[in-house]
Amino acid sequence: MDLSKIEQLVDLVTRSSIAELDLTQNGTRIRILKRAPAALGPPANRAAVEAPALDHPDSPAPEAAADIVVPAPMHGIFYRAAAPDEPPLVEVGTRIEAGQKICIIEAMKTFIDIAAEAPGVVLAILAEDGQEIEAGRALFRIGPAGSS
């Protein structure tokens, strides 16, 4: 991996909400960690927010203050599965744990795993597989572990 690629990855982490990027390519492993700023309050994606209306009329609207909207940490291509021939990582109704991989975003020809920050139940999937997404776009709505 050349220096310019490493600089691009550092810039990607710096400009996004990614806290950690761990990449292995051709036997070389790179791990980039973003230091957390001084406590400024709860993370933005833990706040209850209303997702923009998308062409998902059967998706319930955000109602509970405890719901978490998972935003895209960067611009890229959203993938629900680890590979084209594999099933989606999660479906509506799937119970998830903190740290569980819920989707993949391809950015700069690099596949980045996106993990849940808290346990819960997937209430809505707000992006289509293979769709180009912008940083900050709502991808999932996660409810408390007891919801369904």
Task: Write the CATH number for 97.
Answer: 2.40.50.100
Q: How confident is the model at residue 119 (pLDDT cuts 50, 70, 90)?
A: very high
Whether the full predicted model's pTM is greater than 0.95, yes or no, is no
Which parts of the chain fold into alpha helices (H)? 3-15
Domain count, the chain: 1
Q: Give the integer Cα–Cα distance in Å for 104 and 33.
A: 19
20 vs 119, higher pLDDT: 119
Within a domain: residue 16? no
- Asked if pLDDT for residue 132 goes beyond 50, the answer is yes
CB 46 within 8 A of CB 68: yes
- Domain containing residue 83: 42-143
Within a domain: residue 51? yes
Within a domain: residue 18? no
22-32 pLDDT, tens per residue?
A: 777 777 777 77
DSSP secondary-structure letter at 108?
A: T
- The pLDDT value recorded for residue 130 is 96
CB 58 within 8 A of CB 108: no
Within a domain: residue 25? no
Q: Give the integer Cα–Cα distance in Å for 63 and 61.
A: 6
Within a domain: residue 64? yes
